[in-house]
Every structure is written in C-alpha cells, then in structure tokens.
C-alpha cells in the first residue's frame, strides 16, 4: 500500500516536471541554448599539461583547492583546471603526478611518502627532471684488503672507499618488494622504476653536513595502473621504449664516477619488427668498468668478471656489465663467455679484445651493471685510471629480416 506521504511526494515531482517541461519547451522555441538544471558537466580526472612544463591532473577548481594543488592552466574545454601537485620533505601524497621538490633542508633526512592513488596501482616511475647532490667518495687511500669481497687479514687486494655515497644518498623503499639501488651525484635526466607498495613508498634523501653547495632536485612521481600497457618488466631499474635507438647510462655517469653497490638493470622494449639489439660507444672513454688501475685498457678474465676469481683474490675488480647472449659483432658472431663485459674500454672478458659493438638477440632486451662496495686503492699518480666512470652506451634495434 502506498502511503499518503509517498503520494504527496510523487504528485509534487510530477507537477514540478510538468512546469519544468513547459519552461524548457518555451526556451527551446526561442532557440535558447541554456542548459537545464539537470545537465551537469562531467569530465575525467586525466593527465593534463600545465604551465612551467609540468604535468598535472584535471580537476574542478574547487577540487584542486581542496587538495592543496596549484592551478596551472585549464582543461576539459575550460570546465576544469590543470592541477599541479608539489611536495617536499616530511609530506605524504596520494596524488598521481606529484613533483618532489628540494627544500631549504641543508642536512639530515628529507623524505616524501608516496601512497597509491587507487588500489589498481602497480608501479611508480621517478623522473629526475633535476637531481644534483653530493657525489661519491673519490678517496684512493687503502683501508684494508679483501678476500671474496670481505675485508680480511688474508686478503690480497688493497681497497679504498672510492665510489661509495658517503655524504649524500637517495634511496627508495618498497615494503614487500625489492628496492632499487641507492644513488648519489648527478643524475638529471635519468629515471627509476619501483614497485608500488600497499604500505606506501618512501623517497628518502639523507644529506650530509658537507657538500651542500648546488644541491637541488625535482622528481616527477608517476603512478602506473596494473593494466598500463608499458609497465616495466619485473626487476627493471630503468625501462626505455618507443624508439629503435637510445642512450643508456650508469647512474652518476655525468659525475664521472660510477657508484658502489649497484644492481642497475636497464631494460629496453622490443619494438615491432625487430629481433636484435646492439650496443656501442661513441668514444673509448664512454666505457670504464673495473680493470687494472695502471692500464688504460685493463680487463678481467671471464673467471673473474663479476667476481673475485677462484681464489677470492681477484686483482682486477668485481665490477662488470652483463648482456645476456652477448655476441661479438664479427662475421661468426662469436658468443662472449659468460655474457660479461669488463675493462677500461668495451673489451671482452676472456682475452681483452677491443669490442666496438656488442649485439644480442636474447629477449627481453636488458643490460645489467653490477658493482661491489670497493675500489682498488692506488697511488695518487694513478688516480686518473682508478675512478671508473661506468658506461654510456648507444643502442639500436635491427629488424628481424637483417
């Protein structure tokens, strides 16, 4: 049975609808383009381009203000504003496309907590629009000898603290997932991927009291949904896609010293119609990874590359580059033992052969830079040969028919 109050509500609604319909008919007859009160403007909160070469999210002006965003241009045909989010030390963000900007903090900890903007987020991409903090140690003084990578009285190789991030550090946490390597130095223009954690991710700077001049950073934090078509493959520190050619660098290459304790896995998407990728250097100085400090083209035997040799006393260093299925670009395309590359030029790990180009058809395409916690201690006269830069490699993909 319908109650009296329900009847009254229904009667009032029908009466209002009739009056509104008459008014609407009159406005239409006059050719009016006015919107009825039931026409509500709706638009998606999608990415937008704001002022200052920054990206934002399209919100209503009120939403942007309530979220403490910065209005930087319009979107949604003028019905929305491009809302830019900027954060600094000690803050938390749940907004996609947030910029983590440097502050006035001169020393100590500076962290940004990044939480998922929705439950479907799987990855974070950090774009280092600018990234300049104190670089790694350049000390070549010996503090001990190592055996199998551990300081030991029976060790053979005298080591120093060179390449360690001892003043400033940047690290990213990912509770429940592997974390990318800790970095320092100059990394403007580089990027980093990390798995998004349900417990949120911390982007953390630890800043020393020395070397504060010129510190600055602006890190664009983009959150990718689990259904995003260009998610980085598992374990990739960096991911490049969209072009058959590109440039790959170890972190702090522009600071001219590679970093200690790295497991930097650089992945490249196989572009349509391509089956092989090749890596080369534009100059001999673009590859300097491990090798004897007193030789301009030092190299490591395959049994010692990415390790300390059978006796644990390898004298040429642990650091190396791994390219799965690496082939020397010769008529026979010989396989490089262990797919490991070491030296002061891009040289093979077995005989020190000078390699101009290295190719592989093993997919997915990726290359890994590995380094340990030590660099060989040398006399100051040899310092120019000690501080290995890492690598800067040009890659190109070739079609399956070649």
Q: Please, which pLDDT band fits residue 27 given cuts at 50, 70 and 90? A: very low
Mean pLDDT of 248-262: 96
Residue linked to tokens 């982007």: 203
Instruction: Note down the domain range covering 201.
Output: 91-399
Specify whether 235 is located in the same domain as 323.
yes
Mean pLDDT of 217-240: 97
Question: Which comes out higher in pLDDT, residue 176 or 35?
Answer: 176
Given this model, what pLDDT does residue 314 score? 73
Question: Is residue 341 within 8 Å of 370, Cβ to Cβ?
Answer: no
Specify whether 156 is located in the same domain as 61.
no
Residue linked to tokens 């059978």: 310
**Tens-digit pLDDT profile for residues 336-358:** 777 888 777 665 555 556 667 88
pLDDT above 60 (res 251): yes
Specify whether 366 is located in the same domain as 345.
yes
pTM of the model: 0.84
pLDDT above 80 (res 94): yes
Specify whether 119 is located in the same domain as 70.
no
Specify whether 271 is located in the same domain as 321.
yes
Query: Which runs of E-coded beta strand occur in 88-237?
Result: 91-93, 98-101, 108-114, 121-132, 144-147, 150-151, 157-160, 169-172, 191-195, 201-207, 216-225
Task: Pick from 7-11, 28-32, 261-265, 398-402 the range whose average pLDDT is largest.
Answer: 261-265
Residue linked to tokens 């070649």: 402
Given this model, what pLDDT does residue 318 score? 84
Specify whether 264 is located in the same domain as 326.
yes
Mean pLDDT of 67-89: 91
Cα distance between residue 8 and residue 368, in whole Å:
74
Given this model, what pLDDT does residue 42 score? 73
Give the residue from 30, 58, 85 where a domain finishes: 85
Given this model, what pLDDT does residue 298 score? 43
Specify whether 217 is located in the same domain as 290.
yes
Specify whether 100 is located in the same domain as 56.
no
pLDDT above 60 (res 402): yes
Question: Helix, strand, coil proportions of the chain in percent (round to 5)?
Answer: 15, 35, 50
In a domain, 347, yes or no: yes
In a domain, 241, yes or no: yes
Mean pLDDT of 122-150: 93
| CATH classification of the domain holding 279 | 2.60.120.290
From 100-109, 128-137, 335-344, the region with the lowest mean pLDDT? 335-344
Give the residue from 66, 85, 104 where a domain finishes: 85
Q: Token pair of 14, please?
A: 């029908």
Residue linked to tokens 């949604």: 76
For residue 289, the 8-state DSSP code is B
Number of domains in the chain: 2
Specify whether 65 is located in the same domain as 149.
no
Question: Which comes out higher in pLDDT, residue 39 or 266?
Answer: 266
In a domain, 37, yes or no: no
Question: Is residue 240 within 8 Å of 214, Cβ to Cβ?
Answer: no
Task: Pick from 4-18, 260-274, 386-400 the range whose average pLDDT is largest.
Answer: 260-274
Closest by CA to 208, choosing from 172, 174, 164, 250, is 164
Question: Is residue 84 within 8 Å of 221, Cβ to Cβ?
Answer: no
For residue 315, the 8-state DSSP code is S
Specify whether 266 is located in the same domain as 326.
yes
Given this model, what pLDDT does residue 29 score? 44
DSSP conformation letters of 71-115 = EEEEEGGGTEEEEEEEE-TTEEE-SSSEEEE--S--SEEEEEEE-
Q: Please, which pLDDT band fits residue 171 given cuts at 50, 70 and 90? A: very high
Percent share of the chain, pLDDT over 90: 55
Closest by CA to 117, choosing from 144, 83, 141, is 83
């Amino acid at each position: 049975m319908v109650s009296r109050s329900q009847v009254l509500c229904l009667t009032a609604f029908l009466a209002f609808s009739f009056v509104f319909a008459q008014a609407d008919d009159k406005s239409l007859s006059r050719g009016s383009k006015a919107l009825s009160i039931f026409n509500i403007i709706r638009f998606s909160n999608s990415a937008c381009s704001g002022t200052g070469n920054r990206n934002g999210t399209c919100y209503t002006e009120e939403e942007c203000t309530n979220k403490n965003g910065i209005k930087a241009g319009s979107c949604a045909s003028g019905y929305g504003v491009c809302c830019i989010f900027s954060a600094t030390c000690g803050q938390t963000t749940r907004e996609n496309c947030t910029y983590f900007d440097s502050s006035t903090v001169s020393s100590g900890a500076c962290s940004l907590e990044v939480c998922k903007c929705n439950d479907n987020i799987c990855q974070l991409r950090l774009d280092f629009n600018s990234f300049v903090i104190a670089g790694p140690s350049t000390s070549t003084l010996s503090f001990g000898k190592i055996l199998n990578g551990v300081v030991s009285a029976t060790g053979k190789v005298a080591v120093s603290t060179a390449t360690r991030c001892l003043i400033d550090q940047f690290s990213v946490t990912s509770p429940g997932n592997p974390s990318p390597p800790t970095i320092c130095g100059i990394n403007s223009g580089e990027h980093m991927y990390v798995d998004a954690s349900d417990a949120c991710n911390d982007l953390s700077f630890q800043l020393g009291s020395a070397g504060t001049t010129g510190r600055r950073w602006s890190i664009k934090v983009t959150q990718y949904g689990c259904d995003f078509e260009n998610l980085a493959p598992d374990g990739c520190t960096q991911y490049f896609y969209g072009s058959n050619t590109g440039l790959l660098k170890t972190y702090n290459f522009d600071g001219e010293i590679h970093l200690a304790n790295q497991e930097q896995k650089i992945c490249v998407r196989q572009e349509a119609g391509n089956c092989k990728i090749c890596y080369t250097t534009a100059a001999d100085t673009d590859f300097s990874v491990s090798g004897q400090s007193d030789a301009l083209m030092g190299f490591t035997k395959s049994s010692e590359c990415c390790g300390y040799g059978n006796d644990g006393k390898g004298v040429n260093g642990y650091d190396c580059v791994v390219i799965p299925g690496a082939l020397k670009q010769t008529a026979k395309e010989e396989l490089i033992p262990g797919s490991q590359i070491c030296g002061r030029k891009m040289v093979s790990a077995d005989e020190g052969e000078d390699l101009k180009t290295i190719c592989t058809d093993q997919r997915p395409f990726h290359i890994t830079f590995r380094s340990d916690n030590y660099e060989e201690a040398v006399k100051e006269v040899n310092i120019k040969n000690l501080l290995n830069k890492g690598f800067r490699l040009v890659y190109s993909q070739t079609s399956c028919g070649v």
